[in-house]
Amino acid sequence: MKINLRKKFNDIDAYFSPKIIGEVNEVYVKLAKIKGEKIPWHNHKEEDELFYVLEGSLLFEIEGQDAFTMNEGDMFIIKRGINHRVSSVEECKILLVENKSTAHTGEVQTDVTKTIENQKFKF
């Protein structure tokens, strides 16, 4: 199925709410809009996570390290077990690649945490 990513973002109405747009073997491809500071510090014990910035700027924080900004076209892979969080002052659009077993905010549960079922797009 052909998907225009820029148009698909129009169907995302909530920040910090990834939406699954496809599957490749045992991973999901997701889109998310980020704005503000809602994601808690968390990690994924068994899974790496790929972040790719499609539009805007994303502040990426890794516990115990200096924060860095990712801009349009930047990609970063956070390794399993590393505490991290992301935020953005202005709206930022990202693509995520995650194992199907990856919990949205790891073992940390907050009001922003989404289940896999909540992340599925209704095509």
CATH number at residue 11: 2.60.120.10
Q: Alpha-carbon distance 16 to 118, whole Å?
A: 12
Q: Residue 56 belongs to what domain range?
A: 5-119
Q: Alpha-carbon distance 123 to 121, whole Å?
A: 6
Total domains present in the chain: 1
Q: Which residues contact 92 (CB under 8 A, 6 or more apart)?
A: 33, 34, 35, 53, 55, 56, 57, 58
User: Over its length of 123 residues, how does the chain's per-residue pLDDT go in tens digits?
Assistant: 899 999 999 999 999 999 999 999 999 999 999 999 989 999 999 999 999 999 999 999 999 999 999 999 999 999 999 999 999 999 999 999 999 999 888 888 888 888 888 888 765
Taking the model in full, what pTM does it have? Answer: 0.92
Q: Alpha-carbon distance 89 to 87, whole Å?
A: 7
